[in-house]
Amino acid sequence: MKIETILFDLDGTLINTNELIIASFAHTIEKFGDRPYTREEILDFIGPPLIDSMKKVNKDKVEDLMATYREHNLANHDKYVEAYPTVVETIQKLKEAGYQLGIVTTKLNDTAKLGLKITGMDQLFDVLIGLDDVENAKPHPEPILKAIDQIKANPMTTMMVGDNYHDIEAGHNAGVQTAGVAWTIKGREILEAHNPDYMLEEMSDLLTIVGVE
């Protein structure tokens, strides 16, 4: 069935915030953790909601951890964040071709909007569902279903694009088509194991899939 609506995860999918996230976790763990964490351990924290990761570091100081992380993340945001190759022009072409576009992220709305603004994409999306808009984060279907509801989209003609298995699982759970991105820092094998309908080598592959030239 023809795709009419495309929902995107933000971090690791449209914008490269990986080094920012790793730096912010390392800074926070240095202050509150019981030991230094390896880069590999920190990579496991990319994707799930921040609170879940912080509980694993120090469940008694979750509020302090989150405040320290967010302070570092915002202070260093502009220095690190950039769009992945072909992302901006692909989103612009999809918008011009009349597709409904949305962001479904586990970030808080304000930080998500900041990332879109820095990369010049803040006017290109019809809906943004952040962590503060839902009771249940991905892989629960709620964020995707909420986005679909807000823009009155049809799940049958909707696709979810993401870099984390949570995105693919959420898409399956919401009954939409799914696409994984090969540039995921987690390794494409992890995504492929969750059987996305498509695997994008770069974002412009989407144009071929939906038939926009």
Q: Given 9, 11, 163, 167, which residue is catalytic?
A: 9
Q: Indicate the pTM of the whole model.
A: 0.92
Active site residue 9: yes
User: What is the pLDDT at residue 213?
Assistant: 76
Give the full edge-to-edge strand order of the sheet including 198-200.
Answer: 127-129, 100-104, 5-8, 158-162, 177-181, 198-200
Gap between the Cα atoms of 189 and 205, Å rounded: 19
Report the pLDDT value the prediction gives residue 21, as an integer from 0 to 100.
93
Q: Dihedral sign, CA of 151, 4, 16, 106?
A: positive
Domains of the chain are: 5-15+83-210 (3.40.50.1000), 18-80 (1.10.150.240)
**Contact between residue 181 and residue 200 where contact means Cβ atoms under 8 Å apart:** yes
- Check whether the bond before 139 is cis (ω within 30° of 0): yes
Using an 8 Å Cβ cutoff, are 4 and 154 in contact? yes
- pLDDT tens string, the chain, 213 residues long: the values are 799 999 999 999 999 999 999 999 999 999 999 999 999 999 999 988 999 999 999 999 999 999 999 999 999 999 999 999 999 999 999 999 999 999 999 999 999 999 999 999 999 999 999 999 999 999 999 999 999 999 999 999 999 999 999 999 999 999 999 999 999 998 899 999 999 999 999 999 999 999 997
